[in-house]
A and B are shown apart, each in its own frame.
Chain A
Amino acid sequence: MYEPKIIAFFCNWCTYTAADLAGVSRMQYAPNVRIVRVMCSGRVDPELVIKAFDLGADGVLIGGCHPGDCHYQNGNHKTLRRYLLLKKLLPQVGIEPERLRLEWISASEGEKVRRVCNEFTEELKKMGPLKKEVKNA
């Protein structure tokens, strides 16, 4: 079965800490996710998401604090709005919107990291690889 590549942008304060917790708790989960730590999910510029797809990612996962918990008050509110706008743009440019996923995962939710990574990997396995640039289609 196809092994998708997933780029995950996890915020330093919540989701990355949760992934750390999943690690030290020795939870097993899909090895398809490559985690990039960012200070805030609000720092995830749409350029980073599109560039990840462009460089071969089959899916992009953004993880941030639950609304109200953001270390920077409302960084994740901007993430959410950016995510919604991107979701609207993606199908127009030939990328299935399901390949982009946003999850709120707090520092204590190591189990949720495991579940989300496994779920997303399974979904992308079913979808297969992201279609690549072709000449003279």
Chain B
Amino acid sequence: MPDKPWVAFYWCASCGGCEEAVVDIGEKILEVVQAVNIGFWPVAMDFKREDVEKKPEGFFVASFINGGVRTSEQEDMVKLLRRKSKLIFAFGSCSHLGGIPGLANLYSRNEILNYVYKESPSTDNSQNIFPLTSFEDNGYALHLPEFYDRVYSLDQVIPVDYYIPGCAPPPDIVTGALEALIEGNLPEKGSVLSPNKALCSTCPLNETKPEKLLIRQLKRPHEVQADPDKCFLTQGLLCMGPATRTGCGERCIKAGMPCRGCFGPLDNVLDQGLSMLSALASILDFSPEELSKLEETLEACPDPAGTLYRFSLPASIVKEKRRK
């Protein structure tokens, strides 16, 4: 296998869906393995950490890392891969913005450990056993990675060169990134490899949106039979389209669900959740005399942080429960 460049894949705090997203590119993967060697991919191939450690600095032309960073082991691994790689691609929402596991940042580390190991109804832990980072038994020392105070997006831990957005990234975005890498026509470093436009601008339902979009009600998706051919916001369903980057192929919209925001904010937007909050405030059609009605309506959004920041809490500027 001489001359072909080497790439690596790794996962951190993620669900495994991003690993599937790599395979989802279908037979294109055969073209990829013709162009590059895969030198590290724990989920699919038998390479160990030592194999990476033995490689010289900058050995991999690129590493694709999915998942946020929550443990000391994940931090170690991504720092190792950063040293051994020329380019780092944050692969998928969790790595790009923190993702759904990042919602854990609404709780402190202690709250989480207490609930999981002690307080949850199905847990019986009368001996008060909590995970330790090191433990000795019969002269054998055992080690566990440290569970950090919060979930970090990848670029909060190591410098990241490119972002492949999505939960999980759709095949054409993944293929586009791989082709750009192989052909050597990647854009400026720091780019998100998806068009810098709001989802609404490419949404097939955009033409059903009235010129002045105003709503008098908010509904939760399980409460209504949504009309799949009509802009979800006009139906009172909270769609993250106005504050979310496009490029996903409107997968959710076409499946009859409002956008949940997995592609993250557009360039130059500081905070996706606040951007959506602002947009929502503009279209809620209530005058100052109807405050109580507005408050009633907002009850249909009982968890604003979880809704507005479903994928982007760790990368947001609200700093969640880092304040304690």
A, B bound: yes
Q: How far is the CB of B100 from chain A (nearest CB, A)?
A: 16
How far is it, in angstroms, between the C-alpha of A95 and the C-alpha of B286 when the chains are bound?
A: 26
Find chain A residues with CB under 8 A from B277 CB: 46, 82, 85-86, 89
Any chain A CB within 8 A of the CB of B212?
no
List of 6 A-B pairs having minimum Cβ-Cβ separation, nearest first: A94-B323, A82-B281, A92-B305, A137-B324, A81-B281, A67-B288
Chain A 59-99 against B: per-residue CB contact (8 Å), 1 yes, 0 no? 00000000100000000111011101110110011110000
Any chain B CB within 8 A of the CB of A34?
no
Any chain B CB within 8 A of the CB of A136?
yes
Chain A interface (Cβ within 8 Å of chain B)?
Answer: 45-47, 50-51, 54, 67, 76-78, 80-82, 84-86, 88-89, 92-95, 130-137
Is there an interface contact between B319 and A93, defined as CB atoms closer than 8 Å? yes
Known: A93-B320, A137-B149. 20 other contacts (CB 8 A): A45-B274, A47-B317, A51-B317, A54-B317, A77-B287, A81-B281, A81-B286, A81-B294, A84-B281, A84-B291, A84-B295, A84-B298, A93-B305, A94-B322, A134-B322, A134-B324, A137-B108, A137-B109, A137-B321, A137-B322
Q: How far is the CB of B113 from chain A (nearest CB, A)?
A: 11
Classify the secondary structure of B's interface with A. Answer: helix
Chain B interface (Cβ within 8 Å of chain A)?
Answer: 106, 108-110, 148-149, 270-271, 273-275, 277-278, 280-282, 284, 286-289, 291, 294-295, 298, 301, 303-305, 308, 317-324
- Given the interface contacts A67-B288, A77-B288, A85-B304, does A94 sit within 8 Å of B280 by beta carbon? no
Find chain A residues with CB under 8 A from B294 CB: 81, 84
How far is it, in angstroms, between the C-alpha of A84 and the C-alpha of B271 when the chains are bound?
A: 18
Is there an interface contact between A89 and B281, defined as CB atoms closer than 8 Å? no
Is there an interface contact between A46 and B274, defined as CB atoms closer than 8 Å? yes
Is there an interface contact between A46 and B278, defined as CB atoms closer than 8 Å? yes
How far is it, in angstroms, between the C-alpha of A86 and the C-alpha of B318 when the chains are bound?
A: 11
